[in-house]
Amino acid sequence: MQGFSTDKLHGIHAILYALFDDKERLDRTAMRRQVQHCLGAGVHGMAALGLATEVAKLTEAERRMVMDWVAEDTAGAVPLGFTIFGASVAEQIAQVRHAESLGADWVILQPPMVGSFAAAEYIRFFGRVAEATHLPVAIQNAPAFMGRGLTAGEIADLVRQHPNIRAIKGEGAVTEIAAVIAATEGSLPVFNGRAGLEMLDNFRIGCRGLILAPDCIDYAVAAYEAFRRGDAVRAEAIYAQMLPAVVATMQGLEHLICYGKRLYAARTGEAVQDRAPAQRPNQTGIDMVARLSASLGPMQRR
């Protein structure tokens, strides 16, 4: 909505999985329940259409449909952001317009997944999309997963050139995120992801929060809240409980979608159907998910 400030963004934001039925169609009921599970866990924000949402497998119409559903189900309870996927400036602006129409609070631009270009070309691309909207804009910088990205210095140049770019969504080691925070002089919120690896160290360096898929999101919320109130011992204890699951699932993007989604399903009683092409689980992975689910227990409500 007009006037939303990214200064309000903090904490643990959910990035939703794409949940499909047995005919590989998006499952409306399962997607609604996923939002309800995340809100019940106490998340500080909701997001969709990122890498964990398998956005590249969705048609443009499906992406708009997911926006519609998540906006309806979140109903203003927490700040709402949508990742914007598209191969051209025009395609991304069209999706930004849809996000605007639904009352999204912010958007997160992914680099176009075509070709491979110099940093200056990505800076121009992001800038043209950002200038087309009144919404605060974040940049997703995930070179390890997307094969393209910007350095900390290039991100700082982008932010200086385009004041509407008001947040960064990283996917990197805490040392890399610290460099981004230093290069931008703490002038805008920086979020990390990677399923929660190095969670507490991310908070220590000044990361505003994490954007995570929902398999362990109740633990992440509890750890963040403990850290926020100054109880580092409690935060470390909670993080230690979730860390085996984080390490087990965060072995690559397709691995996360395969096993992280199944861990979420095991903890919430949902079923999992894959949309081809997909990494299929083997018995070792299925047994691993069962052990992790038993250790973590059902999804907790706050």
d(C-alpha 69, C-alpha 91), whole Å: 20
**pLDDT tens per residue, the chain (302 residues)?**
457 999 999 999 999 999 999 999 999 999 999 999 999 999 999 999 999 999 999 999 999 999 999 999 999 999 999 999 999 999 999 999 999 999 999 999 999 988 789 999 999 999 999 999 999 999 998 888 888 889 999 999 999 999 999 999 999 999 999 999 999 999 999 999 999 999 999 999 999 999 999 999 999 999 999 999 999 999 999 999 999 999 999 999 999 999 999 999 999 999 999 999 999 999 999 999 999 999 999 999 99
Nearest to 282 by CA among 264, 300, 255: 255
Looking at the DSSP assignment, which residues form a beta bridge with residue 47?
15, 81
Give the C-alpha separation, 179 to 183, whole Å: 6
The pTM (predicted TM-score) of the whole model is 0.96
CA distance 32 to 23: 18
Question: Which CATH superfamily does the domain covering 6-231 fall into?
Answer: Aldolase class I (3.20.20.70)
Query: Cis omega (within 30 of 0) on the bond before 244?
Result: no
Please give the DSSP secondary-structure letter assigned to residue 259. Answer: I
Query: How far is C-alpha 221 from the geometric centre of its chain's CA atoms?
Result: 14
At position 51, the amino acid (one-letter code) is L
Question: What phi and psi values does residue 165 have, to the nearest 5 degrees?
Answer: -85, 105
Query: Given this model, what pLDDT does residue 147 score?
Result: 81
Q: Would you kindly state where each structural domain of the chain is located, as residue ranges?
A: 6-231
What pLDDT does 1 receive?
Answer: 40
- The 3-state DSSP class for residue 301 equals coil
Q: Helices (DSSP H) in 210-260: which residue ranges?
A: 217-228, 232-249, 253-255
Residue 114 pLDDT: 85
Q: How far is 301 from 98, CA to CA, in rounded Å? A: 31
